[in-house]
Structure 1
Amino acid sequence: MASAVKEISYEDLLALLKQNQNLVLVDVRSKAEVDNGQISGSINIPLDTVESAFKLPPEEFKSKYGKMKPEKDSDDLVFHCQMGRRGATATTKAYQLGYSKARNYAGGYAEWSKKQK
């Protein structure tokens, strides 16, 4: 149920990036998309690898992605894609893995790149 996905706005994400050192912002787009630009501080975990990535032990997650793996009840986990759809899918996968407070930045990179000009 996509409507159950908690979403976060551009303004909320901007504030989180400024004040939360532990934020794990996951870009679920393809490597080719990310190569054309990304949100500073995000890590790229393509959608088809999200489930396996978040099943990794914390040490492996950190060595592979350079960020601490968030705790299951942490609200420091935000997903995004280009327009919101894949981000919502990834957020749903995270819920299924027990990340009850994961959120989707629905505006995605499309909105971010417009507003960051």
Structure 2
Amino acid sequence: MLQAPRGRARAALRRLAVATRTMAGASGRARLFDVRSREEAAAGTIPGALNIPVSELESALQMEPAAFQALYSAEKPKLEDEHLIFFCQMGKRGLQATQLARSLGYTGARNYAGAYREWLEKES
């Protein structure tokens, strides 16, 4: 059974929610992308994040929407999406993913600099 976050975890979730709402504004919703390995993400991730390892991100973002949907069971982000937030364990791969997405034309790509480590520390 899932438990509701308590204490610091609840505060961390609130900060992340506020940050994503701020980035998303009134016009849209932020999407979270966990760019760590499948094994890392399987051990725990931020709720609602889609795991696409950084090693396959470039090919994933270049796929046809139907192929992306079939492989990741999620809608492919659009170039015009304003609020795509990438994160990893400590920040390096998240930044790399953000830069890659921007180079492919995803101008709304952002890096969650605190990364999963910050989120997890706040959860404890």
TM-score range, shorter chain: 0.7 to 0.9
Report the secondary structure of 1:63's partner residue.
helix
Distance in 2 between residues matched to 1:97 and 1:76, nearest whole Å: 15
Partner of 2:73: 66
The alpha-carbon deviation at position 35 of structure 1 amounts to 1.9
Q: Aligned residues, how many?
A: 105
The alpha-carbon deviation at position 48 of structure 1 amounts to 0.7
For normalisation by structure 2, the TM-score amounts to 0.76
CA contact (8 A) 1:70 1:76 kept: no
The alpha-carbon deviation at position 22 of structure 1 amounts to 4.7
Larger radius of gyration: 2
Q: 2:17 aligns with which of 14, 19, 25?
A: 14
Indicate the percent of aligned positions where both proteins have the same amino acid.
43
Distance in 1 between residues matched to 2:60 and 2:83, nearest whole Å: 16
For normalisation by structure 1, the TM-score amounts to 0.80
Structure 1 alignment gaps of length 5 or more: 1-9
Partner of 2:90: 83
Q: CA RMSD, aligned part only?
A: 1.9
Distance in 2 between residues matched to 1:90 and 1:27, nearest whole Å: 10
Partner of 1:55: 62
Q: Which runs of structure 1 show a deviation greater than 4 angstroms over 4 or more consecutive aligned residues?
A: none
Distance in 2 between residues matched to 1:23 and 1:62, nearest whole Å: 18
Matched, 1:33 2:53: no
Distance in 2 between residues matched to 1:83 and 1:116, nearest whole Å: 15
Structure 2 alignment gaps of length 5 or more: 1-12
CA contact (8 A) 1:28 1:44 kept: yes
